[in-house]
Structure 1
Amino acid sequence: MQMLQVRPQIHQFNHVQEFAEFFNIGAGDFILTHEFLYTPYLKELHLDADFLFQEKYGVGEPSDEMIDAIIQAMEGKEYKRIIAIGGGTVIDIAKLLTIKDAKHALDLFEKKIPLIKSRELILVPTTCGTGSEVTNVSIAEIKSKHTKMGLAVDELYANHAVLIPELVRGLPYKFFVTSSIDALIHGVESFVSPKSNAFTELFSLKAIETIIKGYQQIIERGPDYRLNILSNFAFGSTWAGVAFANTGVGAVHAMSYPLGGNYHVPHGEANYQFFIEVFKTYNHKQPNGKIKELNEFLGKILAVDDISCVYDKLAELLEQLLNRKPLREYGMKEEEIETFTDNVISGQQRLLVNNYVPLSRNEIRDIFHALY
C-alpha cells in the first residue's frame, strides 16, 4: 500500500532573482503570472521568456472560458517549460497548459482527450494557502454547468515547486487570511480522511500547528506582524498541500463549490463558511474516532481544557481574523439549499469519499440550512 508521495522537487529562494538564475529562465519558457507581480519583481530581470498576464483573460478564479482563451493565445508557439508565478488561479491554469493537444478545458475535465504531459512545469505560489504547487489537482468553474469541477491526475504534478516568501509580502490582509485558512482546512480535512496514515499525519499536524500559532501571534501583535512570519505560512501551506495530495479533502471543499461557482466567492473564503459546521457535524456523529485525536491536538494549541468546546474556540479565533457571513449575504437564495445539496451529492463524490464519516443528504442539507 502506498502511504506517501511527494512528486515535485521543492525549492526555496529568498529573492526572485536567485530563482531565475537557478533555473536559467529564458527562451523557450512561458511564464503565466500577474502584471502586479511582473512589474516589481520580474521586469527588471529582463528575462528572455514569454510572459502572459492572467488577468487579461478574466478575473477571479479559473473558469473554462478563461483557460480556453489562454490556450488559444499560446497557439503556434513551442514551449519547453510552463512557469506559474501566482495564486491558485494561475497555478491551476498552468497545470493544464502542460497537456499535449489541449484545446478546450472541458475536454480535459471530462477526460475526452488523452492526458499526456508534454512540458516541464514549475510552480511558484504567491499566496499562503492553495497548496496546489505540490498536488496533482486543478479546479475550474465550468460556466455552462454553474459549478466547479476538479481534475486529479498524476500528469498535473509539477516538476518543481518553488517557495519565495518575498512574493507573498504584497498579498492584501484579507487574501492572506482566506488563503491561509484554506491551508488550515487542507491540514484538518487530510488528518481525518480515511486515506490518512502515519506519514501524512506528520504533514497535517505540522501545518495545523504552524498556521494556528501564526494566527495567535498576529492577533496578539497586529495584522502587520504577518510580514515577519510569512515563511512559516508558506511552509505550512505546502506541508498541508503534501498531506491532502495524498489523502484528499472532503465535505468542506465539496460544499463550498456551489457557493463559489454560483456567487464567485473566493475559494478560501467559501471553504471558511463551511469549515466549523462540517466538523461539528462529524464530531457529533462519531466523537471517539480519529477526530478525537484531532480535537485533543487542537485543544492543546488553543489552550482548551474541555475538548467538547474546541470548535467553538477555533471559530472564535478565526472570527478575530475575518468575520464569517451568513450564506444569504453572498446572494444565495433559500430554495438553493435543496439544489446545492443535490449538486454536492451528484457532482462532488470525488471529495465526499474522503469524509471522516459519511454524511447523508439530510445532514448536508442541514449544514447549508444552519449557515444560511
Structure 2
Amino acid sequence: MTTSSAPAPIPFIDLAAQRARLGPRVDEVVLEVLQSCRFIQGPQVLELEEKLAKFAGSRFALGCSSGTDALALLLAAWGVKPGDAVFCPAFTFCATAEVVPWVGATPVFVDVKTDTFNMDPESLEAAIETARAQGLEPKVVIPVDLFGQPADYDAILPIAEKHGLKVLCDTAQGFGGTWNNRRTGSIGDATATSFFPAKPLGGYGDGGAIFTDDEELVGILKSLREHGQGVDRYQNVRIGMTARLDTIQAAVLLEKLAIFEEEIAARERIARRYHEGLGDVAQVPVVDPRATSVWAQYTIKLPAGVRDDLATALAAEGVPTAVYYRQPMHHQPAYAEFPTATPSLKGAEELCAQVISLPMHAYLDEPTQDRVIAAVRKALGK
C-alpha cells in the first residue's frame, strides 16, 4: 500500500535564502558589535544613516526603533496636536493611523484606487472638506506606498500645497521604489520606513528610518528620539521617547543595503514572470508608468468569494498565501468612530474582499515560482 505525501511547503518570504547568501559576513559584523560593546549609537548607525540618505537621494536619514516610531516622531516633531486632522488611506496596515491618536490628533480616512491600491487624490480632497466641516484643522497627509509601489505624488503634492498640509510619506513597504525616477525617501516633507524583517530591506528585528531634507527638523527628531534631550541626555527640553536604532540592526542592514539593488532587480523579474503566468486568469497588479515597485507583496485580485477558495486549494498544494487586508481601517473596531472622506469608501471595501498575495521575495527561483503559478491556474480551473 502506498501513501502520498503532501507537497513540501513553499516559504511565503524566504528569509533563510538571503541569510545563506549573507551568512558569514553578517556573522562577522554582528560579532564586531558584540566585541565593541557599543550596542547603542555605535558607529555603524551613523554609517548606515549616511548610506541610506545617499541611496534615497535625501539630505538626511535618521535611524529609529521601528517604522511606527518613525511616523510618530515626525508627527510629534511637527507639533501635531488635538484638533488637528491627519489624512490616512483606509487600505493600509494599522500603524499608519495608530500613531495619530498618540499625539491627540484625529485620523481621517481616505479611499484608495482599486488599480494601484494607493490613496485616491479625489477622495483626499473630499476628506479635507469633511475634516473642516467637523471643526478639525487639516495638518498632515500620510500617503502609503502600498505593496511596494509609490503613491500618486504628482496629484497628492499639489493638493497638500493648496491646503497647507505636511506630506509624510509612509514607504514602509515601498522603500527602494521610484516615482518619476526619484527614490522614495526624497519625496514630500519627510518619509518614514520600516526595517521589519519581512520588508524588502529588513533587519533581524525591529527598526526604521526617517528621511528629510530639513536640517532643523532633524535636530528636533534627534532630541525626541532620545527622551527629548537638550545639551546632553540629562537635560530634557521636550517630551520625547526611546526610539533609537540598535547598533546590531544597523550592522546587519549595512550588509543588506549593499545587495539591495540586486534584490530589487530580482523582485522585478519575478513580478514580470507572475504577470506573464497569471495575467489571463486573475487581475494582476498595475504599476503606474511613472513608478517602479519593489514588490513588497505580489497581490492579485479575484471576484469576491473566489479568493478564499483559492487560498484553501493552494494550502493543500503547499503554497502559502496572505490577505492584506481583510478589513479597511474605518471598519476596524479601534478606528470605526473616526471620520471618513465619504460615508462609504468603496475602493478600500472592494479590495478587502478581493485581494490575495502570493509568495514573493528576491530568492524565489523559477521552478518554485512555476509551481505557484501552476497551482493557481489549477485551482482556478485554467
TM-score with structure 2 setting the length: 0.34
Largest Rg, 1 or 2: 2
The structure whose RCO (Cα within 8 Å, separation 6+) is larger is 2
TM-score with structure 1 setting the length: 0.35
Higher helix share: 1
